[in-house]
Structure 1
Amino acid sequence: MAARRALRFTAMAEGSSIGSETLGQINDEVRRLTAAYPKLALPTLLGDLVEVQDLTFQLLEHGRVKPSQARELYLLAGITSGMLAKASHDLGNPSAAMMQARTAFVCADNADHHAMRAWVRSLQSLISYWAGRPGEAADYAALGQGAVGDVRGTTSVWLACLSARAHSLLGNGEATRTAIRQVEEARATVEPDDLDAFGGIMTFPLPRQLYYVAEATVQLGEDAALGESQSEAAVSAYRDATEDEWAFGDQAGAQTDLALARIARGEIEGAAEAVRPVLDLPVEQRNFGIVSSAQRVHAALHGAGRRSSGGAAAGLRQEIEAFTATPTSALVR
């Protein structure tokens, strides 16, 4: 709270013209938040995100901003709005998430930042995917890929991964496999850009790529053994990830994908072992994506022939029901 107050005081003290100290402090705060978002529970970050977005909006609306400062400030406002879009998504509100994402895209346009435009399209694809609209998710991924052009940062990898996941949910095997090939091609030509330099939520590291590809393969359902091996690779990558690569939500997603792959192979006890770390997460980390992933495991246990799996399946279903009954959104009003 004291740091937030200091940031606002600096902005006020420099007057209606934005000074270097104000812009520098906002930049530092946005970088702190982008690095923290994948690692910390949302309730600990939400107040700071709202504060920074409000401050950037006020400065853009009422401050005297030089053109070079305006471009940087619009980029910072876009990144903050993008994180708040992700926050709304994590709280299970896709409408608010998409509203924030559209604001982020307007900011990217005003900053004339090509990579940021592509990053927001990625975010819109993610929101649509988890909202149960895979066709829309595929369309947003295609929009982003069509606009990538000279973008060589890791956003290009994210877009291809999103395309693979969306098409797998649509049951389009050929499009899924094509997108997975595009993932490998994009990774091979990556040149980190200024968005990657922010780190955290603004970059797309290899463990996250492995998780998305595994999820696409598992959802497509054509090769359960391949889905299991890819999921194991993703889980292992998160186990060995550096601090900059680790994200509790994506790690949980990899664990649930491994559980789904094992259920498809009839290995209920193995599935229970895979999903155990997810079910042990505290309420403040049970965001919408994690809860939805756990519900997929619950639905798979009800699949054809799973009712005869005995007490292990029934017990696991009960645990998942208890886990999903109290999501993170219950803590935020």
Structure 2
Amino acid sequence: MADTDEIKGARRDLGRRLAQLRKATGHTQHGFARLVQYGRSSVANTETGHQCPDRAFWVRCDTVLQTGGLLAEEYDRIAERAQQQHRRSATEAARTIPGPATAIRIGLDSAGNDGSVLWEHEDSIDARRLVLKSCNDDDARLAYLEDEVGRAIADNERLPPAVLVARMRPLRTYVDQLMCGRQHPPQRARLYSVAAYMSGLLGALALDLGAFRVAHAYAAEAFDLAEAAQQRDVQAWARATQSLIAFYTGDYHDALAYAQDGLRRGGTGPHSIRLTINGKARALAHLGDRYAVDKAVDHAFTALSDYPSSAQASASLALGPYCQARTAANAATAYLTLGSGTDVTTHLTTAIDAFDAAALRGPQALSRLDLATAYLNRGNPEPEQASALALEALTLTADQRYESVSQRARHFLATARPFAQQPQLRQVAELLGDRTQIGAQAPPALPSPS
């Protein structure tokens, strides 16, 4: 449905406003286009009102021009007026359809009976088709959002959590606005799934930053959205994220319950390994059930054979199956809780190499802290080597400050109390108390994170 002159004029005004702000800040069209990651012709056509880019364009313009969201807010107002006008036009079209007086009368039926059947006029059917087609989403927009989710999940543990939060919150708001519009059922399921992944990721990032109540709220929202989408794989993914957050907030029974429900919903799907090893095994370890931990670990490693191996380490919030390194690292964490040092070192041998190669700082640090704690639990403790590993872990995550790393470091220091006079242990305690003291660079012996 074509836009009215009023809407076209409002978009031209918005384009002129962009041009004014761009010029006031000294940006050329070419330089500005590079900053917002659009073509120069797109910027030029938008400023003259000949092109109507989506909301993501205006959000990037606000970021570069530091307008405080001014352009995106005006875009939202125009989009809302356009939607209202489209709905009014569709309603008016339906009202002008000929009524029963002009309907088609059918005389005798095949049996010779005068049924006087009145059919709807074809214009009435066409009007309903018009409403059906008035959808505010298309496959290109949904594909863009799905790509953004995948990119953000891949960047998790590579970029500081606050950086990803700043990237994802405007997108989550944008998706929420789209959800208020009209979509066909398959598109709506995709949109709700995207929203579920975004909320789940924001929940995990809130956990990384120590905002536990916000993390729980986001994760619960992620599951509700996945359930509304009626996508069982997405439900399983959301349950795995809820289990992760419950684990780090000390709610081990909840962590286990979420993992078990995720397995019921996802079956043997791609999230079964994560739910089993990250959810069940670690929670069961804290609940003291060694037999169940062994069973969960065996099941997770057996399930790995159902999926092709990959040279890359999977993401912590992977949309696909967990890799060998992730599975081994989570098994090590479970066995560390049970006090089984041999199982810890065995599982971590290959995991640390994989995480170092992938430059995933969170897993690099967590694996080192688990191995450091295992060194203290040996029959012949090695506090010096353990302290060196702990220092490496805190150095690797100096910029990120993951809550999970802080918790694991506190557990390490509690285990190290008998060796409190060790100078490096005191340094670990000082660095944990004030993470800003740590330099951003890793020790020379470690791979340089990219």
TM-score (norm 1): 0.84
TM-superposed deviation, 1:225:
2.5
Are the aligned partners of 2:241 and 2:317 in contact in 1 as well (CA < 8 Å)? no
**Structure ID, larger Rg:** 2
Question: In structure 1, how many angstroms separate the alpha carbons of the residues matched to 2:338 and 2:428?
Answer: 24
Contact 1:157–1:209 (Cα < 8 Å) also in 2? yes
Structure 2 residue runs of 5 or longer lacking an equivalent are 1-34, 38-54, 60-71, 84-135, 439-450
> Any conservation in 1 of the 2:244–2:255 contact (CA below 8 Å)?
yes
Q: Does 2:392 match 1:277?
A: yes
For residues 310 and 277 of structure 1, do their structure 2 counterparts lie closer, same or farther at Cα, with a shift above 3 Å needed? closer
Residue 209 of structure 1 and its aligned partner are, at CA, apart by: 1.3
The answer as to whether partners of 1:160 and 1:183 remain within 8 angstroms in 2 is yes
Distance in 1, Cα, partners of 2:329 & 2:371: 10
Structure with a larger share of its residues in helix: 1
Aligned to 1:26: 145
Bigger drift between 125-134 and 2-11 goes to 2-11
1:138-193 Cα deviation digits (max 9, x unpaired): 121111122222x421x11001112111111222211111111111122122379x
Partner Cα separation in structure 2 for residue 97 and residue 230 of structure 1: 29
Q: Which amino acid aligns with 1:267?
A: E
- Whether contact under 8 Å (1:152, 1:190) holds in the other structure is no
Code of the residue aligned with 1:254 in structure 2: it is S
Deviation track 1:77-121 (CA, whole Å, cap 9, x = no partner) reads 111111111111111122211111111111111221111111111
Matched, 1:202 2:319: yes
- Which one of the candidate residues 256, 259, 276 is aligned to 2:369? 256
Q: Distance in 2 between matches of 1:94 and 1:115?
A: 25
The residue aligned with 1:52 is 171
The counterpart of 1:42, out of the listed 146, 161, 167, is 161
User: How many angstroms does 1:74 deviate by?
Assistant: 0.6
Distance 1:199 1:18 in 2: 30
Give the residue type in structure 2 aligned to 1:301. A
Q: Secondary structure at the match of 1:285?
A: coil
Residue in 2 that maps onto 1:322: 434
1:74–1:108 CA contact under 8 A, matched in 2: yes
* Aligned residues between the structures: 312
Summarize the alignment of residues 148-227 of structure 1 with structure 2, pairs less than 5 Å apart: 148-149=266-267, 151-153=268-270, 155-161=271-277, 162-190=279-307, 201-203=318-320, 204-221=322-339, 223-227=340-344
**Distance (Å, rounded) in 2 between the aligned partners of 1:74 and 1:28:** 15
| Corresponding position of 1:331 | none
Residue by residue, what CA displacement relative to the aligned partner does 1:216-256 show, whole Å, maximum 9, x if unpaired? 111110x3233223223321221234xxxx53212211111
- In structure 2, distance between residues paired with 1:106 and 1:191: 31
2:86 match: none
Query: Which of 134, 147, 152 in structure 1 is aligned with 2:265?
Result: 147
Q: TM-score, normalised by structure 2?
A: 0.63
Supply the distance in 2 between the matched residues of 1:238 and 1:227 (Cα, whole angstroms). Answer: 16
**Correspondence for 1:2 among 27, 36, 43:** 36
RMSD after superposition: 2.9
Q: Corresponding residue for 2:351?
A: 234
Shift in alpha-carbon separation, 1:314–1:28, aligned structure 2, 3 A = closer
CA distance in 1, matches of 2:138, 2:79: 9
In the alignment, structure 1 segments of 5+ residues that lack a partner are 327-333
